[in-house]
Amino acid sequence: MTRAAHGVLIAVPETAWAKGGAAIREAVTAASELRGFLEQRFPGARIELVAPEPGRPVTKAAVLDAFAAAHPAPGDLFVVLFFGHGLPADSAHPYQSWALTTEELTDVDLAGLLRQLPPDVDTVVISTCCYGRGFYYVGPRSPETGAWTRPLRMPSLRQLSRAFAMGVQDVVDAPMVCISAAGSGEAGDGIVLRAVAGQLLAEIQAAAEEGISYRDLDERFRRRRAAGHEFHVDARPADRLDQAVLATEVLPCARDGRAAGGAGR
Amino acid sequence: MTLQRHMFVNYDDETITIEIKAYETVDIYKLEPEGSTTETLVDTQEVPQNEQCVIFELHIPAGMIYGLGVYSTPEYTNPDTAHLTILTMSGKDPWPQPPPPPPPYDRTGYATRCASFLSGLGGERELQQAPDPGPSVELAAGTR
């Protein structure tokens, strides 16, 4: 039996954060095609497409509304896509962000949203932007050790109080499969060329139809990485890498949801 | 590691070949003269296993613009400075004023097309006064 699928697909072709105002004209089309693919693969799928319309920019409130409208249940697939420009973390901003029209959605924001889902929701985040892998490694953290990679400037009291209120460690450990289009930002400059962005979605869809695992998809990516053309697959817990890409079957429940299989980092 | 972008503009009416020594796998892109697609990936040159670099010939057809992105500076010498213009830029820095378009390229939209060539999907915080976007998921936790 095909399981239920939900999605929040965010496409932001133009943003105030882009250097020179470079537009990603194909962003909305690519997100729409992914929606069509998911709706065909998962009949009855409920997919929210958050994209600009004349006079209506992509705001953070619109994105949060889309998340609030999604109600995935345990065992359901929940796909989150961002297709647009990414913003790097730095010492003053210890979080990477998806650039909305004039605002941003941070990696901490996303991790917190995912932590609010019921246990055992099968979350797949597709981060198609520069620094996109940072949405798996929240903030400027080392992929190897999980440690902060550089000293942070003293955060403001407001930032500290918010971080304490949320529990930063919990946020960092949000379970997900993250398919990203670039490095995390701390290992390099994390730039991905616009020319290959659409290719990531095409390859994910092809992998789903072939029935290969996330691990095999990552291996496929690993074999032909080039500057500006780096795709990655990460999973927490790590054993999710052995599941089929966008599998249609209901997955077995983990013993205690978020903790199943360890941290997997 | 900073991404470098190299653009090769052939003004000749014949193909120009340039030998390139690269220290990493290199994707070669073509700037399309027209149409909705700005650029196309036309070739990939991989460094063979147990080798430190790859040496290959890049053939740039008459009147075409090719380019590549790398982390390590490649080595090459312009074989025909009269007809081949080479531009190099770092990271997300915009290309300088583009050279005049070779004949196949439509002047309409050429500057925009050139500016988009090998562009990245990254934004810049310093372009505007960044707001404090600290964690704000409490909005989605039931207060909306």
Concatenated DSSP letters of B20-49: EEESS-EEEEEE-SSSS--EEEEEEEPPPT
Percent over 90 (pLDDT), chain A: 55
DSSP state of B125: G
Average pLDDT of every residue of chain B: 85
pTM, to two decimals = 0.85
B137 in a domain, yes or no? no
Distance, in Å, from the CA atom of B41 to the CA atom of B121, rounded to the nearest integer, reads 17
Comparing A171 with A22, the larger pLDDT belongs to A22
Q: What is the pLDDT of residues B57-72, one digit of tens each?
A: 999 999 999 999 999 9
B62 three-state secondary structure? coil
Q: What domain range includes position A209?
A: 5-259
B143 in a domain, yes or no? no
B142 in a domain, yes or no? no
Question: CA of B144: which chain A residue's CA is closest?
Answer: A65
Question: CA of B93: which chain A residue's CA is closest?
Answer: A19
Contact pairs from chain A to chain B, CB under 8 Å: 169
The residues, ordered by sequence, that sit 6+ positions from A145 with a Cβ below 8 Å of its Cβ are: none
Residue A163 pLDDT level (bands cut at 50, 70, 90) = low
B141 in a domain, yes or no? no
Please answer whether residues B80 and B43 qualify as being in contact, where contact means their C-beta atoms are separated by less than 8 angstroms: no
Write phi, then psi, for A39 (nearest 5 degrees): -65, -30
B81 in a domain, yes or no? yes
Half-sphere exposure of residue A158, counting CA atoms within 13 Å on the CB side?
A: 6
Q: What domain range includes position B16?
A: 4-128
Q: How many domains does chain A have?
A: 1
* A13 inside 8 A of chain B by CB: no
Q: What's the CATH code of the domain at A193?
A: 3.40.50.12660
A265 in a domain, yes or no? no
How many residues does the structure list for chain B? Answer: 144
Q: What is the pLDDT of residues A79-99, one digit of tens each?
A: 999 999 998 877 667 778 999
Residue A177: closest CA among A253, A242, A117, A221? A242
Q: Chain A contacts of B44, Cβ < 8 Å?
A: 224, 226
With a cut of 80, say whether residue A144 has pLDDT above it: no
* B44 inside 8 A of chain A by CB: yes
Lowest pLDDT segment from A25-29, A190-194, A209-213? A190-194
B138 in a domain, yes or no? no
Q: How many domains does chain B have?
A: 1
A73: tokens are 């249940």
B83 in a domain, yes or no? yes
B24 in a domain, yes or no? yes
Element (H, E) at B84: strand B84-90
Q: Chain A contacts of B93, Cβ < 8 Å?
A: 19
ipTM score over 0.90, yes or no: no
Q: Which of A189, A200, A222 would you mutate first to test chain B, the one with the most B CBs within 10 A?
A: A189
Please answer whether residues A5 and A38 qualify as being in contact, where contact means their C-beta atoms are separated by less than 8 angstroms: yes
